Structure 1
Amino acid sequence: MANYAFYAALRHYLATRTVDAAIDLKKVTRVADNFIIKDHQLFYTGPSRQYMRLVILSDEQKQTVLKECHNKPGTGKHCGVRATRDRVIAGYFWSTLKKDVEEWVRCCHQCQLSNTSKKVSPVPPPIKVTEPWDVVGIDVIGPLRETPRNHQYVLTVTDLFTKWVIAEPLQTSSASEVAPALVSKLYMFGMVRKIISDRSREFVNEALNIKHAVSSAYCPQTNDQDEWTKQKMKCALRRYVSEAQNDWDVHLQAIVYGINTEKQESTQYSPYFLLFHR
């Protein structure tokens, strides 16, 4: 309630340059330059004034924002504390934001159900890439719970330069279904110089006029970035399937959107920004 009174006074000050006698004038004026009013709403801009973040006041508004940025498959996909915090900070502001995000993620039931222990593997040497869509990693995830459209697998294609992910639901993991799906996805951005995959017959390259570097069958993380995509996608699907049951394929592209708009630790940018520069 104290925060609400302060921000109400701040909003009144920005509109009228006056404050109620019960409000500390110095406290209001000290931060006033970091806020603006637009369309009758209060926004935090910070000293740089380059970005506007909507000031959230009520607990109901906070819950709505946290659900949007953590629980939904497209914008949230049950990502961790850091990714959820980055999404919230990108558009919203309140004084206890970081603490509330940590608490929300910690108490998330779906995240608790899907969290599993992770074995630490040696980090392989990075694959050298020089530009977008030079080298991609591919994999097939599944079998998953069968959907009404008979989908049980997901083909993933990851650009190793931008970390951009493409995904396509499949009914089977057979070469006859994987190959045309892969070619159709590569046509979106043009054919690549090299494909990285595990040693699997799904990824036959006779139909593809490109090099196919086969990862070691005994070291699935040789293609480290694609293994990261696979684990990220499996985690998001696992968390969402438990909520949406057997319609995960309907929401697959929303999950992919969430991955592509999430800032990556390795690049400090989102794949979307690196690919489209915005």
Structure 2
Amino acid sequence: MPVGSKKNNTDYRFVVDYRRLNACTELEAHPLPTTEESLDSIGVQNPKYFTCLDLQSGFHQILLDPNSRPYTAFRCHLGLFQYKRLPMGLKNSPVTFQRVMETVLRGLTWKSCLVYMDDIIIFSNNFADHISHIRGVFQRLRCANLKLRLDKCQFAKAEIRYLGHVVSSQGILPDPDKLKAANKIFVVVDHSALQWLLSMKEPSGKFARWIVFLQAYDFKVKYRPGRVHSNADALSRRVYETEPQISHVGQNSLSPTQTSNCPIDGAFDRNTLVRHQREDAKLIRMINYIEKDILKGDTNECRAILLTASQYFIDDQVLYHVVTGGKTKRTSKTGQGNVIQVVVPRALVNTVLTEMHDSSITGGHYGISRTIEKTRYRYFWEGMYKDIVNWVKSCKECNQRNRPVYPVRAHLQPLPVTGPFQRVGTDILGPLPVCQDTGNKYVLVFIDSFTKYVELVPLPNITARTIATAFIDRIICRHGAPESLHSDRGSNFLSRIVAEVCKLFEIRKTQIHPITHNATVKVNE
């Protein structure tokens, strides 16, 4: 059943519930202009005259295809009806109407006028051009047989309301009528927004730029009681006699401006960084793939670029690397966050290491761990950790000032042997040429640590079962079970079968230093 929705004036809007139809309708892809783009386009030209036009029931001026009309059918107390023109409530009605308006005004939009659905704004720098621009728009509307609603049109105004803003030659301000409810809201200020921004798991492009901007400052968000914060509170509560005016919007005013994310004493500027990034053979492949969707190189290089491209983005011609879920001192209190790093080309690695370690201002000759933490907080390149370790270890000043501290370790002591076959060493020799008669190609070596008696056992393979069987037949059955079995802790001797044999006969196995029993190695040689 249709319902009547009251407009801002005394008219009613006739609407039908098309939710079930929209659920099975494929969305037609067509972008709507954003408020930021529209206002920015007006602000760049700094116009003096404005005209705003509103179409009379804009959707209903678009004819509906006859094949689509049955889908819009609805019933009421008078019977069953269907729309002949584009109704409100359909999923694709807004994009269809927007495409029609852009087609009608093609060649005029973004130059002398803008269109957002059924609202058209015309702007000019002088009155003569403004009349010409209005005449051009009217000719297009007349050819398309589109009608305007005169009582909602405004002509040649110095100030006009458009898309929730007041637009004039002095600048762009929020519409006061739209701010009435917001002005009544009591704002509770805290710092969770900054903490949330720095801990986002997958930041979008707009948020990523702000994260890069804020990472240029080393700050911590701390609570400060209001009684000791009177200096800032006094400025924020100052009463102004007049409403503050906002200057006209510039071309790049919607994007945060950041000159550099480099060390504070200017090791290299943005232009130097951009030039070296594009001269680096590896980085230029990633840059070309992100900017131009061009993938060149051998198979392994192309695979690496495809797998890691989501971790990179380019902002203001600078290549950045994003570590998702990284944890640094800046984000440790807020949990898992993102670290956005400047990608350093190989030609500037030494410059960054000098600033991060050797410089008296930004370095400080810290140790390996702290230098890595400082560097990865802002920079990234392949082999970064290895380069930092080598740089710090080879620092002449650090080596002269700091004595290396080695952990205190006890010296290895020989294990005394008091009788034959108390401790048996074992190792495997091979593979050797296969014996034609028996098929053996390995030799299992046993040596008694007390008598130096050697037992050689030829084996066709070195599986755990074969070794356990030879150990039982040649050593345990002939000489008794030893107290300990010394091996090189290979996978054959660490198997579950050998472990069960040693557990059954209460035989200890090698724990930490298998190379200390080199008698077996000498036998193999």
Q: Shorter chain as normaliser: what TM range?
A: 0.3 to 0.5
Q: TM-score, normalised by structure 2?
A: 0.21
- The higher relative CO (CA closer than 8 Å, separation ≥ 6) is in 1
TM superposition score normalised by structure 1: 0.38
